Amino acid sequence: MVAMSDQYSPVEIVLDANTRSRRVIVGSSLAIPDANQQLDLFYGSQYLFMAQVCKGVPLAPYVFTAGTAFFWGADSVYNHTPYPVSSVNDQFHVAGDWTFDPAKGLICWRANLATAELLASLTETTNPSLLFHHYLWALPPALEAVLIAAWDMLIWLPAVNAATAVPAATQYERRKDGRTQVLFSDGKWRTRYGVLVEGNPVETWGNPED
C-alpha cells in the first residue's frame, strides 16, 4: 500500500465484483469475512475507505473504464432519503489520500459520519448501534449506474462525542410509547413528563429503563 495522509480513520476493504460483496483475502482466494473480521464505524468520525476491487480472486482486478465516476452510500432502511451518509464523486481520489488506480481496481473515498441525518437514524433506536447497508456504485461515461458491491457494517453511537467534549450519552433522546425519553449519564433512559404544580408547569422524570 502507498502511504496516505493520516487525517482520516482508515478503512481497508476488499470487494468482489463477481459476487457484489465484501470479501477478505486468504492466500490466493477471496473468502467471506468471519465474525472476527467485521468492520464497525462510529458516528461523528471522518473515514477514508481504501478499496481493492477484484473479480473472483485477488490477482484479478476489476478494471474500471477510464472516466468512470463513483458513488457510495449507506442506510439502515430501504426507503429513506436523503441518505444518512453518502459520498459523491468529488469525495473519491482526493489528492494525497491513497493509491487511486481504477484500471487496477484500486479506489478510495472520504466518508463523513457526522451528519444530522445519521444521528437522527441512530437515535430513533433503543440500541447503541444500527446495521447499515453499504453500496458502491460506478457510473461509467457511456452506461447507466453499475452496482459494484453491497455489504453490511454496523455504525455505533460513541460513548464520548468529541464535537462537544462531553459524554455523548447526556445529549441523546428517543421516542417510546409516544413520549420523549432522555439518556442520562448513568446509561439509563427516563421518560420526560410535564406536570402542573400549583398551576406552574414542571418537568419530571419517569423510572430508569434500559
Q: What is the pLDDT of residue 149?
A: 97
122 vs 176: CA distance, rounded Å: 14
What mean pLDDT comes out for the span 144-156? 95
The model's confidence at residue 58, banded by pLDDT at 50, 70 and 90, is very high
What's the full length of the chain, in residues? 210
Main-chain dihedrals φ then ψ at residue 116, nearest 5 degrees: -65, -35
Pick from 162, 80, 151, 68: nearest CA to 113: 162
What mean pLDDT comes out for the span 87-109? 92
CB atoms within 10 A of CB 143: 10
DSSP 3-state of 27:
coil
* CATH 2.130.10.10 given to domain 9-159: no
The model's confidence at residue 112, banded by pLDDT at 50, 70 and 90, is very high
The model's confidence at residue 2, banded by pLDDT at 50, 70 and 90, is very low
Residue 55's DSSP bridge partners are: 57
86 vs 84: CA distance, rounded Å: 7
Check whether 171 has a pLDDT greater than 70: no
CB-based contact 96:87 (threshold 8 Å): no
70 vs 146: CA distance, rounded Å: 9
| Single-letter amino acid, residue 74 | A
Domain boundaries, the chain: 9-159, 172-205
187 vs 170: CA distance, rounded Å: 9
What mean pLDDT comes out for the span 171-188? 78
Check whether 95 has a pLDDT greater than 90: no
Pick from 182, 180, 189: nearest CA to 208: 189
DSSP letters along 37-94, please?
G--EEETT-EEEEEEEEEESEEEEE--PPTT-EEEEEEESSSS-SS-SEEE-GGGBS-
How much helix, strand and coil, in percent to the nearest 5, is found in the chain?
10, 50, 40
Average predicted confidence (pLDDT) for the chain: 87
